[in-house]
Amino acid sequence: MATTTLQALVFQMRHEATGIISVELRPTAPASAFPAADAGAHIDLHLGNGLVRSYSLINPGEAHRYVVAVLNDRRSRGGSRFVHEQLRVGQVITLGGPRNHFRLDADAQHSVLLAGGIGITPTYAMLQRLAALGREAHLVYCARSRSEAAFLAEIEALASASDARLSLRCHFDDEQGGPPDLERLLAGHPPDTHFYCCGPGPMLDAYERACERLGQHNVHLERFAATTTVALATPASGYTVELRRSGRTVQVPPGMSLLDALIEAGLNPDHSCREGVCGACETKVISGDVDHRDQLLSKQERTANKSMMICVSSCRSGCLVLDA
């Protein structure tokens, strides 16, 4: 069930802003290339302490390298701390991906990008792609301070060279005296505008409320963490999972996640966040009554029931058949 992994050389690490470093990764074989990745995509870093963490790529379309940026988050479960304190140039690490659950609609005539802090990583990639396509886009970049705003100089240069197709508005809490008024910052755009946001949880919640009040419908977001702790919803009697391609049948007992049941059965499913936000464990559904608990799939995707995140979602009753 696991996807192909790649070996990568840590080629360069650079300070980008207070608490943020970028990591440039290159293929270990000189003549090889990474799989192409679109704006909004992320990769998994398999870190030396046994953790697997997902980070957004900031360089869409490049195959000779991947570049990510990592915030040294004091609330980290160990991933960002490892990158900042132990990862070094010259080391070889394992990568997974790329995957993209935060896709840019490149055909949209106008896009608004909202970034909060380290949420600039996928939005910066989107801005680069829109600039290359000659599309109109407006970036609202929010951070607690100017010193914590990574890639600001590069973004300003990109906007300046765009013949006014790209515009930038910054909000720094320490300069403005408090957090941004998102409804005011997002107002005034035509109804066919596509909106994208990545940032901390409270900002994403405020963004969704603001877009709803503004009557905007083309609303996209990416979360780095679950909004709440997801409770397992395994039926009292458990349920059975048939893995059609591998020919295995696994019983999921009450109180155990589908992911853990598959691991306990000796299988090797892709996974990372265990919170239903990264998409690493997404698995195709053939049949079954899925109880979706992730934070990635839209209402339409849940109704279609074509896939599920096995780390948090389960089967309400009976048998679940997966294409795995």
**Backbone CA torsion sign across 5, 7, 12, 18:** positive
Query: Quick one: pLDDT at residue 87?
Result: 95
Query: Quick one: pLDDT at residue 115?
Result: 98
Dist. CA 266–CA 244, nearest whole Å = 16
Query: Quick one: pLDDT at residue 191?
Result: 92
Query: Quick one: pLDDT at residue 43?
Result: 94
Looking at the predicted structure, is the pLDDT value of residue 305 above 70?
yes
Dist. CA 294–CA 272, nearest whole Å = 13
Looking at the predicted structure, is the pLDDT value of residue 293 above 60?
yes
Dist. CA 173–CA 21, nearest whole Å = 21
Query: Quick one: pLDDT at residue 50?
Result: 74
Query: Quick one: pLDDT at residue 226?
Result: 62
Cα dihedral: 275, 278, 280, 284 (round 10): 80
The pLDDT tens digits of the residues spanning 228-281 come to: 555 556 677 789 999 999 999 999 998 899 999 999 999 989 887 788 888 889
Query: Quick one: pLDDT at residue 82?
Result: 93
Cβ 263 vs Cβ 252: under 8 Å: no
Query: Quick one: pLDDT at residue 279?
Result: 82
Average pLDDT over residues 211-220: 93
Query: Quick one: pLDDT at residue 126?
Result: 98
Query: Quick one: pLDDT at residue 225?
Result: 67
Dist. CA 183–CA 237, nearest whole Å = 47
H or E segment and range at residue 62: none
Dist. CA 95–CA 170, nearest whole Å = 33
The pLDDT tens digits of the residues spanning 53-80 come to: 889 999 999 999 999 999 998 777 688 9
> Where is mean pLDDT largest: 75-79, 298-302, 303-307?
303-307
Looking at the predicted structure, is the pLDDT value of residue 209 above 70?
yes
Structure-token pair, residue 235? 């039926």
Cβ 35 vs Cβ 98: under 8 Å: yes
Dist. CA 102–CA 223, nearest whole Å = 10
* Length of the chain as a residue count: 324
Residues whose CB falls within 8 Å of the CB of residue 222, separated by 6 or more in sequence, listed in order: 40, 56, 101, 102, 119, 122, 197, 198
Domains defined along the chain, listed by start: 5-99 (2.40.30.10), 110-222 (3.40.50.80), 239-322 (3.10.20.30)
| Three-class SS state of 272 | coil
- pLDDT band of 108, cuts 50, 70, 90: very high
Query: Quick one: pLDDT at residue 228?
Result: 55
- pLDDT band of 49, cuts 50, 70, 90: low
The pLDDT tens digits of the residues spanning 169-207 come to: 999 999 999 999 999 999 999 999 999 999 998 999 999
| Three-class SS state of 79 | helix
Cβ 121 vs Cβ 69: under 8 Å: yes
